[in-house]
Structure 1
Amino acid sequence: MRMKKVDIIGGGIAGLALAARLDPGTFEVTVYEQRPELPAVGTTLAMWPRAQRALSDIGILGAVRSHGSIITAGALRDPSGQALLAIEGEGLVGIARPELLRLLDTAVPASVGRVVRRVDDIPGDAWLTVGADGVNSIVRRNHWGRRSAARPTPFLAVRGVVPSAPASGDVGEYWGRGEIFGLAPAVGGTNWYASFRSDLGPESVDVAEALESTRGRYANYSEAVGEVLKQATPGNSLAQRIWTTPPMTRYARENVVLAGDACHAMTPNLGRGACEALIDAVTLGTLLNELPREEALATYNRKRVLRTQQLRIVSSLMGNVALAEGMQPLRDGLLKRIGKRVARASAQG
């Protein structure tokens, strides 16, 4: 049987997961990735149950759990650290992005070809071309047109991992006026992230400048936040503008299909971007292994478009609430009342 040529543009989470899932006896797979090596710095990603099932299908869930951490609980907090609303995280596994990429890379069959270069012109001889090339996807731009171009938000994301572990009473997300700051345990320390309006970027952001701006923005936050920012350096931190994709109604056209941030890049407020990229890849790979191409792509559209577009919208709405600048007292008061009601309900069984 003649092998079916699949070109995967992008060797991130979605691209590697798809390469790992496709049947090497059926598909001749090539992954194109401009990055010559896996990143050394990256924050912790929360793997929700459906993403964990996707990792199990690839065969690396056990390794992810052994190299990750269990996420238990935290709270939404005001800048001083006072808890407004408890958040349960039962069943979630945290894994550093570089470690997840490394484990996905080990699951890719040796038969998969690797091309290290930036792709500006899409190879045209493939049985299937997969755009797994992120929010500024070349594949999406070439096949869905200019209206599909990514859109920068007004917000900067600054994040990293520092060596000291957080106290349980400090874990959570701190909501201020037009800014948020998050603290969570990670293997070997504390995973932290901040988001706020900024003029830095949008294309390239200097990490040292972003850290200086972050320290200024959060100078009056709790001692725990200040201690983390003291340990943050350009070497253990990342900074970038948050970009999103516009609404999409189809992720596949003819012999081209999109996965991950290439089709549903969302703000990070739900913590679901990496999870949905994994689910995209495993869903698509399974369908291609079992069905003719046209049927597989049509089913992929039905399974993934509505769900991921809903998450994209909800994440944006959540971000608007968290980063609100004019309704902070009302917002925090509502969160406190919700928290008290949840606590009373839990005490009553």
Structure 2
Amino acid sequence: METISIVGGGIAGLALAACLDQDRFDVTVTEKRPELPAVGTVLAMWPNAQRALEKVGVLAEARTVSPVIGSGSIRNAAGVPWVTVNGGQMFGISRVDLLRLLDAAVPDTVRRITGRFHAVPSGAGLVVGADGVHSAVRRGIWGERTAARPTPYLAVRGTLPVPVHPEHVGEYWGRGDLFGIAAAAAGTNWYASYRSDLGVEGIDVASALEQARIRYAGHAGAIRDVLAQATPERSLAQGIWTTPRLRSFVRGRVVLIGDAAHAMTPNLGRGACEALVDAVTLAELLNVLPADEALRSYDRQRRLRTQALGLASSALMRVALTEAAQPLRDRLLTLARRPKARAAVVTGSPT
């Protein structure tokens, strides 16, 4: 049996471990956290991610615990809608629920190790870096020049145990900030992004919430109501990081998937989705092809597509969070305003 060492037990790592042929591979997952997280935001599942979940075998369960996204509006800071988008059959699943389902789908034959990755040992077989935006695998093999890059923006997000008001669902674009409100299985999911002086690591959640309340004090009443009810126990605050574009996601017998390969800004809501597709694609190729051929095929199929999505997400972030051009943006969107615009896209929450 060929050895596969997966570094990272998050969405990408667990999905890969669940889909690999256990009769062909000896699989180990190394994760630094001793247990799954208890707090997480809601992730929009696009059609490609739903197909990946079906291949993992958890799509039906994921739908059961997740509300359909339905329709929502992109609005100005006061809450006046510019355009309404329809999410179709997309649904929003809690990161906590998604990780729980993926974890349960991993066969008992997969070995679990709790600890940090330090270096690829000689004779380790195939190594998969699924260890997120600050991937030690990527920095160790591709070099420190590939270290994650911080943006100037903070992501504050959380859930509330109260039903969401349908007329409040959507994103609110202000001057240098955005705020999102959506349905969650337990009530309401919300997220905010803006420039912050709280740093990019080790951010105190209570301080971030207080800063957000001040920042959005002049925005729509729906935003103020959400932030008034938000608590540190049900919230997260993190700097937004991205990764540089790589010429290849493969180097020798090491391959990157998920945020380790292509962390992007959260504005398209595609980070978790593409991590799932990466994992399922790589597993399907490894299950039927020699490893070297499978890795080359994976790189061809996934690298350019995910990097294009990363560029599109960054472009949308610049539009949504613009400061100097905010008046012009608002005028153009007001001119383009339509009562109802049916589309196959929806702006997603941070991943």
**Normalization by structure 2: what TM-score?**
0.95
CA contact (8 A) 2:243 2:261 kept: yes
How far has the Cα of 1:79 moved from its partner? 1.3
Of the three residues 262, 266, 269, the one matched with 1:268 is 266
Residue 31 of structure 2 corresponds to: 33
How far has the Cα of 1:343 moved from its partner? 5.4
Alignment of 1:297 onto 2:291: no
CA contact (8 A) 1:60 1:104 kept: yes
Pairwise mapping of residues 77-92 of structure 1 onto structure 2 (< 5 A)? Answer: 77-92=75-90
Of the three residues 164, 176, 179, the one matched with 1:178 is 176
Residue 133 of structure 1 corresponds to: 131
CA contact (8 A) 2:85 2:340 kept: no
Pairwise mapping of residues 78-117 of structure 1 onto structure 2 (< 5 A)? Answer: 78-117=76-115
List runs of 5+ in structure 2 lacking aligned partners.
Answer: 344-351
Query: What SS does the aligned partner of 1:91 have?
Result: coil
Query: What SS does the aligned partner of 1:130 have?
Result: strand
Pairwise mapping of residues 151-190 of structure 1 onto structure 2 (< 5 A)? Answer: 151-190=149-188
Residue 233 of structure 2 corresponds to: 235
How far has the Cα of 1:129 moved from its partner? 0.2
CA contact (8 A) 1:86 1:339 kept: no
Amino acid in the other structure paired with 2:184: A
Partner Cα separation in structure 2 for residue 68 and residue 303 of structure 1: 29
Residue 226 of structure 1 corresponds to: 224
Partner Cα separation in structure 1 for residue 252 and residue 38 of structure 2: 37
Residue 198 of structure 1 corresponds to: 196
Residue 213 of structure 1 corresponds to: 211
Query: Structure 1 segments of 4 or more deviating over 4 A?
Result: 341-345
Q: How many residues align?
A: 343
CA contact (8 A) 1:46 1:92 kept: yes
> What per-residue deviation string (whole Å, max 9, x for no partner) do you get for residues 137-186 of structure 1?
00000111122111000000000001112211110000000000000011
CA contact (8 A) 1:127 1:255 kept: yes
Change (3 A) 1:344 1:64: closer
> What per-residue deviation string (whole Å, max 9, x for no partner) do you get for residues 206-261 of structure 1?
11111111111011111111111111111000000000001112101110000000
> What per-residue deviation string (whole Å, max 9, x for no partner) do you get for residues 305-325 of structure 1?
010000000100100010000
Query: What SS does the aligned partner of 1:69 have?
Result: coil
Residue 320 of structure 1 corresponds to: 318
Residue 330 of structure 1 corresponds to: 328
Query: What SS does the aligned partner of 2:163 have?
Result: coil
Partner Cα separation in structure 2 for residue 316 and residue 13 of structure 1: 22
How far has the Cα of 1:336 moved from its partner? 2.1
Partner Cα separation in structure 2 for residue 320 and residue 163 of structure 1: 32
Partner Cα separation in structure 2 for residue 149 and residue 224 of structure 1: 38
Of the three residues 280, 283, 288, the one matched with 1:282 is 280
Query: What SS does the aligned partner of 1:126 have?
Result: coil
Partner Cα separation in structure 2 for residue 321 and residue 31 of structure 1: 39
Amino acid in the other structure paired with 1:257: V
Of the three residues 254, 257, 274, the one matched with 2:255 is 257
Partner Cα separation in structure 2 for residue 164 and residue 6 of structure 1: 44
Amino acid in the other structure paired with 1:25: D
Of the three residues 245, 248, 254, the one matched with 1:247 is 245
Partner Cα separation in structure 1 for residue 339 and residue 311 of structure 2: 27
Partner Cα separation in structure 2 for residue 343 and residue 263 of structure 1: 34
Aligned Cα root-mean-square deviation (Å):
1.4
Residue 6 of structure 2 corresponds to: 8
Partner Cα separation in structure 2 for residue 341 and residue 216 of structure 1: 32
Partner Cα separation in structure 2 for residue 18 and residue 333 of structure 1: 46
Partner Cα separation in structure 2 for residue 292 and residue 57 of structure 1: 21
Change (3 A) 1:344 1:156: closer
> What per-residue deviation string (whole Å, max 9, x for no partner) do you get for residues 90-136 of structure 1?
12011000100000001000000000112223343322000000001
Partner Cα separation in structure 2 for residue 344 and residue 69 of structure 1: 19
> What per-residue deviation string (whole Å, max 9, x for no partner) do you get for residues 297-348 of structure 1?
0000110001000000010010001000011121112112222386599xxx
Change (3 A) 1:120 1:84: same
Amino acid in the other structure paired with 2:74: L
CA contact (8 A) 1:76 1:175 kept: yes
**Normalization by structure 1: what TM-score?**
0.96
Change (3 A) 1:344 1:209: closer
Residue 71 of structure 1 corresponds to: 69
Query: What SS does the aligned partner of 2:87 have?
Result: strand
Query: What SS does the aligned partner of 1:160 have?
Result: strand
